Amino acid sequence: MLKILTIIGARPQFIKAAAVSRVIRNDHADTIEETLVHTGQHYDPNMSQVFFDELEIPHPKFNLEISGGTHGAMTGRMLEAIEKVLLSERPDWVLIYGDTNSTLAGALAAAKLHIPVAHVEAGLRSFNMRMPEEINRILADRVSNLLFCPTEVAVENLAREGITKGVSLVGDVMYDVSLYYRDVARSNNDALDRFELKEGDYVLATCHRAENTDDPSRLREIGLALADLAADQAVILPIHPRTAKFMDEQGLITAMKNVKLVAPLPFLDMIRLEQAARAIVTDSGGVQKEAFFYEVPCVTIRDETEWTETVDLGWNRLVDADRTKIVTAVRGACRPSGAQARPYGDGSASKAIIERMLG
């Protein structure tokens, strides 16, 4: 029996882990034992428990309940707690996802105990070292034994850094998830009615990255751009708790009185709104890809993106945190012509990951 210990802590990781865990349960229940560790990085019920329920993820055996504080404090507490779990569980593999503090803590704890690490979404690079996520993903890749890349670009990024051993191009597990839940969200969800939205006639926005929320000038530009857009069309913003706090401090909540501000959404609500939006404004890597998967034009409020394919293929525009650029890009957003390319695989990434881990 192969023992895999999966470390997750943030909303995007719950989604990715759901796809891989489903393959383990459905196809390898007799050969793989998976233990889930939830660091607690996302602790709000709307950003944590509801995802386990909707995505049918097994209940974590360990919930470390570590959240808040500086990056160093959070990562340090996670590292200490994860190490204790690893010493008691002694897994054959530690499986990590993405680029959060939970990812880095899991990678370091396992590597120091000489437990092999498998990294899903390896090789992604924004080339912006001011992003905590960039530091996390680079360090996680350096200590991983298996590096599961979602795209050819990710493989090339690793090769330029001298990393070729253990690298596999498997496709994107997020694409697996999007295919699995796409029709479920459309047929069994009333989110459009609840939020009084019409199909193809609103803008969906998200904003949570520290580079935007922690910079008053950038956050103000984003908030005022959404207010401008809401003057002549529906705009809905599922608002991250940190974003709400900083916006309120700046008086932006009042300025955005016509924007529909709602709590973070359950997974099926979110992808239903993504599919039906006229355009999406976001700083989230996952939402950029979901917009691409569902063929919805995306405007990214960052200087760069890890998902360069979405830009190259015309579905995504980088506009930075500039009020005028955001408004102009959203109002002019349209679907590119021609057939949709599929740079993220064929929806079988999760199976490829497990087959590689089984050797």
DSSP letter string over 137-160?
HHHHHHH-SEEEESSHHHHHHHHH
> Hey, where are the domains in the chain?
2-172+345-358, 192-331
Q: What is the pLDDT of residue 54?
A: 81
Q: How far is CA 17 from CA 62, 71, 199, in A?
A: 15, 23, 30
Q: Which residue has the tokens 């596999």?
A: 168
Q: What is the pLDDT of residue 290?
A: 96
Q: What is the pLDDT of residue 46?
A: 53
Structure tokens at 3: 């023992």
Positions of E strands within 154-278: 167-169, 202-205, 234-238, 260-262
CATH of 192-331 given 3.40.50.2000, 3.90.1580.10, 2.40.50.140, 3.40.50.1000: 3.40.50.2000
Cα-Cα-Cα-Cα torsion 251, 322, 212, 272, nearest 10 degrees, comes to: 90
Q: How far is CA 29 from CA 34, 107, 136, in A?
A: 9, 25, 31
Q: Which of 28, 38, 42, 208 is catalytic?
A: 208
Q: How far is CA 320 from CA 213, 219, 329, 354, in A?
A: 13, 11, 11, 37
CATH number for region 2-172+345-358: 3.40.50.2000
Is 38 assigned a catalytic role?
A: no
Q: Which residue has the tokens 């899903």?
A: 120
Q: What is the pLDDT along the chain (359 residues), one digit of tens a residue?
A: 999 999 999 888 988 999 999 999 999 999 999 999 999 976 655 555 666 778 888 889 999 999 888 999 999 999 999 999 999 999 999 999 999 999 999 999 999 999 999 999 999 999 999 889 999 999 999 999 999 999 999 999 999 999 999 999 999 999 999 999 998 888 878 999 999 999 999 999 999 988 999 999 999 999 999 999 999 999 999 998 889 999 999 999 999 999 999 999 988 999 999 999 999 999 999 999 999 999 999 999 999 999 999 999 999 999 999 999 999 999 999 999 877 889 999 999 999 999 999 98
Indicate the pTM of the whole model: 0.88
Residue 337 CB-density burial (10 A; 0-12 exposed, 13-18 middle, 19+ buried)? exposed
Q: From the CB of residue 301, how many other CB atoms can be counted at a distance below 10 Å?
A: 28
In this chain, the answer to whether the domains covering 2-172+345-358 and 192-331 adopt an identical fold is yes
